[in-house]
Amino acid sequence: MNLKIAIQKKGRLSEKSLQLLEECGINISNGSRVLKAKAKNFPIEILFLRDDDIPQYVEQGVVDLGILGENEVLEKDKDVSIVSKLGFAQCRLSLAIPKEEDYKGLSYFEGKKIATSYPKILSNFFEKENINVQIEEIGGSVEIAPSIGLAQGIFDIVSTGSTLITNGLKEVETILTSEAVLIGTKNLSSEKQEILDRLLFRINAVQSSSENKYILLNAPNDNLQEIINILPGIKSPTILPLAKEGWSSIHSVIKEDTFWEIIEQLKNKGAEGILVLEIEKMIL
């Protein structure tokens, strides 16, 4: 029995999804134009589909799982579960208006027409804000809508904001932040749930390794307790005596997002020979 997983058939999200599975030790061979592939060493089958079709296929049980952007999941509003957030393909969905317009808050959009490829997300947002807007649904090239008189503003995915600037627009409100998620059907059999649990175990190990660094350092024993307090590790640091009297070697794990702050604190407490290593896998 294989667990069926749908991923986007092309693009950056597809590449990152396959990379994640590879980092989980799952060997998938997919040549060009192949829309279905089986893993050689794990009981899963991959289907390569349009991302906006994936929620429907998961809801109907055609596939068991899907990897796609959270924004697409919310827009399609199908009866599926978000099993796990995957930490890549981050983006934001924002409102933008012509750069010469004076913006003082959401009330600006009262009675105005907004062009978007995400009408459901946008409609739900403005309903909660009790603001009446007209939504113009278009499939692409949303940024051009104000300049051709189709709408007074847009709601779309923003990354660097350069496309908005090129089209004479400015970002005024971020409505949603999104990332890749693993979604699942709500009626998995016990056999497939067991396979999913094994897959999630591997995904969690990969995610934990990317969020942490392994650190080794030499520390004076006089400041050992203070340095230990800075470096709690997963449970507590490993401490080994050095040949040099009065010094110890400390091994620990630190979070990527606090890395430089912690390094500075360690240096201030007399730590020397600090070595920082990538972690390939981390089993908690």
At 222 the pLDDT is 92
Question: What pLDDT is recorded for position 234?
Answer: 65
Q: For the beta carbon of residue 143, count every other beta carbon within 10 angstroms.
A: 19
Question: What is Dmax (Cα atoms) for the chain?
Answer: 77
When pLDDT is averaged across residues 261-284 and rounded to a whole number, the result is 87
Show the CA angle centred on residue 50, arms to residues 115 and 75, nearest 5°: 40
Torsion, Cα of 238, 242, 248, 253 (10° steps): -40
Q: Is 178 exposed, middle or buried (0-12, 13-18, 19+ CB in 10 A)?
A: buried
List the beta bridge partners of residue 169: 98
Q: Which two tokens stand for residue 33?
A: 């134009």
Residue 259: what pLDDT?
Answer: 81
**Per-residue confidence band for 161, with pLDDT thresholds at 50, 70 and 90:** confident
Whether 54 shows a pLDDT value over 70: the answer reads: yes
Residue type (1 letter), 261:
E
Beta carbons of 67 and 5 less than 8 angstroms apart: yes
Structure tokens at 155: 């709601």
Strands 212-220 and 180-184: unpaired
Task: Give dist(CA 141, CA 69) in Å, integer.
Answer: 19
Neighbours of 149 (CB within 10 A): 8
d(CA 155, CA 135) in angstroms, rounded, equals 10
Residue 208: pLDDT band with limits 50, 70, 90: confident
CB 6 within 8 A of CB 49: yes
Compute the distance between CA of residue 143 and CA of residue 163 in angstroms, rounded to an integer.
8
The predicted model gives 172-196 an average pLDDT of 95
Spatial separation of the C-alpha atoms in residues 262 and 255, rounded to whole Å: 9
**Stretch 235-255: mean pLDDT, rounded?**
89
With contact defined as beta carbons under 8 Å apart, do 28 and 7 qualify?
no
* Position 261 pLDDT exceeds 90: no
Residue 44 has pLDDT above 70, yes or no: yes
Residues forming a β-bridge with 118: none
Residue 33 binned pLDDT confidence (cut-offs 50, 70, 90): low
CA angle 93, 97, 98 (to 5 degrees): 140
Q: Is 135 helix (H, G, I), strand (E, B) or coil?
A: strand
pLDDT of residue 237: 86
State the average pLDDT for the chain. 91
Domains parsed from the chain with CATH numbers: 3-88+179-209 (3.40.190.10), 91-178 (3.40.190.10), 212-278 (3.30.70.120)
Confidence of residue 233 (pLDDT cuts 50, 70, 90): low
